[in-house]
Homo-oligomer: A and B are copies of this chain.
Amino acid sequence: MKTRTDYHWFNTKHHREYVRITDLVEESVAKSGVQEGMVLVSAMHITAGVFVNDDEPGILQDIDEWLERLAPYRDDYRHHRTGETNGDSHLKNIMVHHQVILPITVGRLVLGPWQQVFYAEFDGQRRKRLIIKVMGE
């Protein structure tokens, strides 16, 4: 069995931002030498997520507006009594989920025709970390 672990740091310009990371995942898979297996891609934060969707600017903005509609910024979250202001970022993280696991076949990351992997930042402008873990043989 082979495994490989890579970490990546993000420090987004915007409070919320969607960063395509398919290349980073493919790079980890290639370097791992794994032919058959799986790769876990996971945000190490409770205010960031990872999802698979289309790299089309319109839909990414639709997703962002939709997340803000369903999990909006509000002053009165109980979490804000701690001095935080990012209650909505936690809810957005729950909504999109913080991780995906993707198949590796014949040494390649397997994605469908339009599937791209995104790091979803919901409380950016600070250093945040992502883990990519490859496992297989």
- Residue of A40, A53, A78, A96 contacting most chain B CB atoms (<10 Å): A78
- A110's partner among B58, B63, B91, B131 (CB-CB below 8 A) is B131
Integer count of this chain's copies in the complex? 3
Using CB atoms, name the residue of chain B closest to A58. B78
- A100's partner among B52, B91, B99 (CB-CB below 8 A) is B99
14 pairs, A vs B, C-beta closer than 8 Å: A1-B136, A5-B36, A37-B135, A38-B38, A40-B103, A44-B111, A44-B113, A45-B112, A53-B93, A54-B79, A62-B90, A98-B115, A105-B133, A110-B131
Q: Which residues of chain A have a CB within 8 Å of any CB of chain B?
A: 1, 3, 5, 36-38, 40, 42-46, 51-54, 56-59, 61-63, 66, 70-71, 77-82, 87, 90-91, 93-103, 105, 110-115, 129, 131, 133, 135-137
